[in-house]
């Protein structure tokens, strides 16, 4: 039977991909950000998950505003990383786990979540940057797990509510735990935290709100579901809606988690960058 060992969160800013390519790990601007990841890599090295469920949002590479699924799940043998215009070096394909993907899709539909299933899916920095941060050299890291991409709409309104996101995670948990194969799974919640990249509030960051979210997502994620979609935009910025993917991850971990590591740093590319490592209760 499958086991969910924990959840990881990280921002997925495209500038991070360029910083990785240029190896700016000790650059004064980047060092406080990159210093958050060695403890997580050590934990991953100790536990060696077989599969990473990577919850991210597409930025126009796999989907666009004319066709933006609320929830999409990859069911491919591999996931191509293609050029999206940021100058980030393209990487080889990431290995998939189509058997688990179809099991998840079937289970989610049974639980009344309408899923877009993708037998081909190009993945952008939202998916790729977290994989590079957690498994350096990805996808060529020897401990690289097989991936199941889960894309959520955080761009084209109406977006899912935080309650719907948390409920999705709970349904995902049931799907994963019902998979008969003996595998270890880690769930990634990517994006955010607060940031706004355009308009009159460009550069907006809300440190107090970010810190509250990082606390409550551990101790009382249900309390966060009371934040409405418009309120989320007001408090986290237009792109801070990506926090809903953290909520999807959190729902998949069960009621109680143990926080093992966290980091919060501003500003990285006008973003409140949060990193967390949560271990599932035994």
What is d(CA 208, CA 223) in angstroms, rounded to the nearest whole number? 16
- Using one digit for the tens of pLDDT, what is the confidence trace for 48-61? 999 999 999 998 88
125 is catalytic: yes
Mean pLDDT by 10 residues, the chain (282 residues): 96 92 95 97 98 94 87 97 81 96 98 96 94 97 97 95 98 98 98 89 93 97 97 94 97 97 92 96 76
Question: What is the per-residue pLDDT for 88?
Answer: 84
Question: What is the per-residue pLDDT for 194?
Answer: 95
**Burial of 229 from C-beta contacts in 10 A (0-12 / 13-18 / 19+):** middle
Domain range list for the chain: 3-280
Q: Which helix (H) or strand (E) holds 55?
A: strand 51-56
What is d(CA 280, CA 256) in angstroms, rounded to the nearest whole number? 7
Question: What is the per-residue pLDDT for 267?
Answer: 86
Residue showing tokens 């009621």? 255
- Are 282 and 274 contacting, i.e. CB atoms less than 8 angstroms apart? no
Question: What is the per-residue pLDDT for 89?
Answer: 86
Q: Is 262 helix (H, G, I), strand (E, B) or coil?
A: strand
Question: What is the per-residue pLDDT for 268?
Answer: 86
195 is catalytic: yes
What is d(CA 162, CA 272) in angstroms, rounded to the nearest whole number? 19
User: What is the architecture, at CATH level 2, of domain 3-280?
Assistant: 3-Layer(aba) Sandwich (3.40)
Catalytic residue, chosen from 12, 59, 103, 195, is 195
Catalytic residue, chosen from 97, 103, 125, 265, is 125
The DSSP secondary structure of the chain, one letter per residue, reads --EEEEEEEE---HHHHHHHHTT-TTSTTTHHHHTTSHHHHHHHHHH--SEEEEEE---SSS-BTTB--SEEEE--SEEEE---SS-PPP-PPEEB-HHHHHHHHHHHHHTT---EEESS-EE-HHHHHHHHHHSTTTTS-TTPPEEEEEEE--SSSSPPPHHHHHHHHHHHHHHHHT--S--EEEEEEES-SS---SSTTTT---HHHHHHHHHHHHH-HHHHTTS-HHHHHHHH-SSGGGHHHHHHHHHTT-S-EEEEEEEEE--SSSS-EEEEEEEEP-
Q: Is 276 helix (H, G, I), strand (E, B) or coil?
A: strand
User: 188 is written with which tokens?
Assistant: 């990634």
Question: What is the per-residue pLDDT for 84?
Answer: 75
Question: What is the per-residue pLDDT for 198?
Answer: 84
Kindly report the backbone phi and psi dihedral angles of residue 172, in degrees, each rounded to the nearest multiple of 5, phi listed first: -60, -40
Q: Which helix (H) or strand (E) holds 275?
A: strand 273-280
Question: What is the per-residue pLDDT for 213?
Answer: 97
């Amino acid at each position: 039977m499958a086991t969910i060992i924990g959840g990881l969160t990280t921002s997925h800013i495209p500038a991070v991909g360029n910083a990785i390519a240029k190896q700016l790990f000790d650059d004064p601007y980047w060092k406080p950000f990159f210093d958050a990841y060695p403890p997580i890599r050590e934990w991953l090295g100790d536990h060696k998950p077989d599969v990473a469920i990577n919850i991210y949002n597409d930025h126009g590479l796999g989907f666009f505003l004319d066709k933006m699924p609320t929830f999409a799940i990859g069911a491919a043998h591999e996931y191509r990383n293609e050029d999206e215009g940021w100058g980030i070096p393209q990487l080889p394909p990431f290995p998939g786990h189509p058997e688990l993907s179809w099991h998840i899709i079937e289970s989610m539909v049974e639980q009344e979540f309408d899923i877009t299933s993708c037998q081909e899916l190009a993945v952008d920095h939202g998916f790729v940057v977290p994989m590079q941060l957690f498994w350096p050299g990805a996808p060529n890291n020897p401990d690289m797990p097989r991936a199941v991409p889960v894309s959520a709409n955080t761009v084209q309104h109406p977006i899912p509510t935080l309650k719907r996101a948390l409920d999705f995670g709970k349904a995902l948990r049931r799907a994963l735990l019902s998979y008969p194969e003996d595998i270890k799974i880690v769930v990634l919640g990517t994006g955010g935290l607060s940031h706004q990249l355009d308009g009159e509030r460009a550069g907006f960051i809300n440190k107090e709100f970010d810190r509250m979210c990082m606390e409550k997502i551990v101790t009382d994620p249900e309390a966060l579901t009371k934040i409405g979609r418009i309120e989320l935009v007001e408090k986290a910025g237009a792109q801070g809606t990506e926090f809903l993917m953290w909520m999807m991850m959190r729902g998949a971990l069960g009621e109680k988690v143990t926080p093992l590591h966290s980091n919060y740093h501003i500003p990285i590319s006008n973003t409140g960058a949060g990193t967390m490592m949560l271990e599932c209760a035994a």
